[in-house]
């Protein structure tokens, strides 16, 4: 298992370069642009080309993504916001409600998760049975009445092997929510090609399966399933014609290099995920990461902006951790390209910003809820 110190690598390009801090010095330096290191000139060129994009591309190198990710934050966010406006309506934000349909009792060892049985003695979270179809549909109705247009259901399972009855019930939930005119997403762990097809036949819009972090850092976070197994599930989802929702968690102890690595993996898939959730770790007492310090907001913003640039057509979702963000911080994220949030009473096992609070925030800033099955296209 690699340590954070071992994993910490230097960015390919650092900004700003050691140099002038004051205007007169900067002027002098600008007269000496021929002295700008070649690596820095190349990074600028990569960035300029990236923000001029008119279509998504899939052949990014880690070097290019690193050059984008390490741009000065103000410039990075502004340019990401400009690109966002080329691909999306900037005032349109998707409202999703995420319900836990089966809590706790999971056999996996994800070190951030309260639902793993391995940490149950520390977290005290009891395992529950799967929710009934009628209670889930009631929750979806409430979400719709409050303005949510996408309803996501999460179950704490490693995979769906041997869960025929559960899959049948979940298919019924999916059809019921679709009949309300909402988008439906589920996250059930690893699934096989035939299970993906069954979910598609029930009307599933999207399947969530996060990669969490870079391939290199991943073994420090989870040992019970591999990065390749996760990618395989994403490929089964894609092959079944279901939209892919796959993102990461920041604040696990990863480095900038890992965040660049995650962005590289998702942005070089044959088709970009339609949705990329950016989670800030919510440390839960009793889990191995329960004492971690919250990730810096600037890291969150930088990751969102870089994600917007390398996957311009994707919906970028502010996921866990939004509850701790000031309203102005959330707006910076929207300006830099985020265009979806989770809203409602709960987000799996953690607190979530409520519908009323979000409605008021949207009204203050002139944001509007994205309609179902629309991507807020510009």
Candidate residues 12, 76, 95, 113; the one interacting with ligand SF4 per rule CB under 6 A: 113
Q: Is 225 annotated as a binding residue?
A: no
Q: Is 352 annotated as a binding residue?
A: no
- Residue whose CB is less far from ligand SF4, 208 or 303: 208
What phi and psi, each to the nearest 5 degrees, are found at residue 84? -55, -45
Q: Is 129 annotated as a binding residue?
A: no
- Residue whose CB is less far from ligand SF4, 71 or 116: 116
Candidate residues 116, 267, 303, 339; the one interacting with ligand SF4 per rule CB under 6 A: 116
Q: Which stretch binds ligand SF4 (CB under 6 A): 67-75, 109-117, 270-278, 321-329?
A: 109-117
Q: Is 185 annotated as a binding residue?
A: yes
Residues marked as catalytic: 106, 110, 113, 152, 185, 245, 317
- Residue whose CB is less far from ligand SF4, 13 or 217: 217
Candidate residues 65, 106, 300, 319; the one interacting with ligand SF4 per rule CB under 6 A: 106
Candidate residues 64, 108, 131, 258; the one interacting with ligand SF4 per rule CB under 6 A: 108
115 interacts with ligand SF4 by CB under 6 A? yes
The interface with ligand SF4 within residues 200-219 (CB under 6 A) comprises none
Burial class (CB in 10 A: 0-12, 13-18, 19+), 32: exposed
CA distances from residue 198 to 51, 173, 230, 323 in whole angstroms, order as listed: 39, 13, 19, 35
Candidate residues 189, 251, 261, 277; the one interacting with ligand SF4 per rule CB under 6 A: 189
347 interacts with ligand SF4 by CB under 6 A? no
Handedness of CA 110, 228, 160, 318 (dihedral sign): positive
Residue 90: HSE in the Cβ half-sphere, 13 Å Cα cutoff: 17
Give the residue from 278, 264, 279 showing the smallest Cα distance to 311. Answer: 264
- Alpha carbons 275 and 263: distance in angstroms, whole number: 13
Collapsing DSSP to helix, strand or coil, 358 comes out as helix
What phi and psi, each to the nearest 5 degrees, are found at residue 126? -75, 145
Token couple for 92: 């349109």
The interface with ligand SF4 within residues 137-166 (CB under 6 A) comprises 156, 158
Q: Is 152 annotated as a binding residue?
A: yes
Burial class (CB in 10 A: 0-12, 13-18, 19+), 287: buried
- Under 8 Å between Cβ of 238 and 192: no
Size of the site for ligand SF4 (CB under 6 A): 9
Q: Which residues are annotated as a binding site?
A: 106, 110, 113, 152, 185, 245, 317
Q: Which residues are annotated as a binding site for [2Fe-2S] cluster?
A: 152, 185, 245, 317
Catalog residues that contact ligand SF4 under the rule CB under 6 A: 106, 108, 110, 113, 115-116, 156, 158, 189
């Amino acid at each position: 298992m690699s340590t954070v110190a071992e994993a910490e690598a230097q960015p390919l390009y650092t900004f700003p370069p050691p140099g002038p801090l004051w205007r007169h010095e900067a002027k002098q330096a600008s007269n000496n642009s021929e002295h700008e290191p070649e690596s820095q000139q190349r990074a600028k060129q990569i960035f300029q080309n990236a923000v001029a994009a008119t279509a998504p591309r899939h052949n990014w190198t880690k070097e290019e993504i690193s050059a984008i990710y390490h741009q000065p934050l103000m410039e990075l966010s502004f340019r990401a916001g400009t690109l966002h406006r080329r691909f999306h309506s900037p005032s349109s934000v998707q409202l999703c409600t995420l319900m836990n349909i089966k809590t706790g009792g999971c056999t996996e060892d994800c070190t951030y998760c309260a639902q793993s049985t391995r940490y149950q003695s520390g977290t005290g979270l009891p395992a529950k049975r799967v929710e009934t179809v009628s209670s889930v549909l009631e929750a979806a109705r409430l979400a719709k009445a409050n303005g949510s247009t996408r309803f996501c259901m999460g179950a704490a399972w490693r995979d769906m092997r041997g869960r025929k009855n559960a899959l049948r019930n979940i298919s019924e939930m999916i059809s019921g929510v679709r009949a309300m005119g909402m988008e439906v997403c589920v996250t059930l762990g690893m699934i096989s090609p035939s299970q993906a097809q069954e979910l598609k036949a029930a009307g599933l819009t999207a399947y969530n399966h996060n990669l969490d972090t870079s391939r290199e850092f991943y073994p420090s976070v989870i040992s019970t399933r591999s990065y390749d197994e996760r990618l395989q599930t994403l490929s089964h989802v894609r092959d079944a014609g279901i939209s892919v929702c796959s993102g990461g968690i920041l604040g696990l102890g990863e480095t900038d290099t890992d965040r660049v690595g995650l962005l590289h993996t998702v942005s070089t898939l044959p088709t970009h995920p339609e949705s990329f959730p950016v989670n800030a770790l919510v440390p839960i007492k009793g889990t191995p990461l329960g004492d971690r310090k919250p990730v810096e907001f600037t890291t969150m913003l930088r990751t969102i902006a870089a994600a917007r640039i390398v996957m311009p057509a994707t919906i970028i979702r502010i996921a866990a951790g939004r509850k701790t963000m000031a309203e102005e911080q959330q707006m910076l994220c929207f300006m830099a390209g985020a265009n979806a949030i989770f809203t409602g009473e709960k987000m799996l096992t953690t607190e979530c910003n409520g519908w009323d609070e979000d409605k008021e925030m949207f009204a203050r800033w002139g944001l509007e809820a994205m309609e179902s099955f629309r991507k807020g296209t510009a």
